[in-house]
Amino acid sequence: MSGRTLKIALAASVALNLFALGGGAAFLISRAKVDERIAEQRRPGREGGFPQLISRLSPEARREVRTSMRAVALSARPDFEAAREARRQAVEAAKQPQMDPVRVQALLDQSRTAELRGRARLEGGTIAMLQKLDVQDRAALAELLARKGPGGAGRNGRTAEPPPPLDAPPPP
């Protein structure tokens, strides 16, 4: 091979490598953008939610609703903390070399019961607060009673129904 042919081959190789690197970089950038859009679509609607609902209220009702809902949320907090703790204990019990399925199921039942108790407190407090509002404000906040909330997606992608017990027959 002559020197000139070698230089041309080297230049072509460099050009091909630069083209491949540019294409790869463009692919990675576009893939990252697609992944970001998908993640945004799956994310629960936090940007709207309660603040957006509150903004629909008459100014005099906003403070009352915020205060009332804060108190309701604080009253339900211990139930949700108990639910998380029982679920954490169930996970730890399931990881043990000698797993006790009865204990794991009991902890999961405790978790579910505490979570439902907390939800009942939230819903009961919301209903009590809604009773105090006029028709327009109540209509604006009625979405608080929806299981999925104003953002459209359930929190953490959870379904509305709790899972069936382990000994339940499979659905048809």
Q: What is the CA radius of gyration of the chain?
A: 28
| Residue 53 host element (H or E) | helix 49-55
Q: Are 92 and 100 in contact (CB under 8 A)?
A: no
Distance CA 160, CA 149 (A): 12
pLDDT at 167: 53
pLDDT at 39: 75
pLDDT at 121: 94
Q: Where are the domains of the chain?
A: 9-42, 50-150
pLDDT by position in tens, the chain (length 172): 688 888 888 888 888 888 888 877 787 787 777 777 777 766 654 445 778 878 888 888 888 888 898 999 999 999 999 999 999 999 999 999 999 999 999 999 999 999 999 999 999 998 998 898 888 888 888 888 875 544 444 444 444 445 455 555 555 5
Q: Return the ∠ at Cα 53 (arms to 52 and 56), rounded to 5°.
A: 95
- Compute CA 143 distance to the chain's CA centroid, rounded to the nearest angstrom: 18
pLDDT at 91: 95
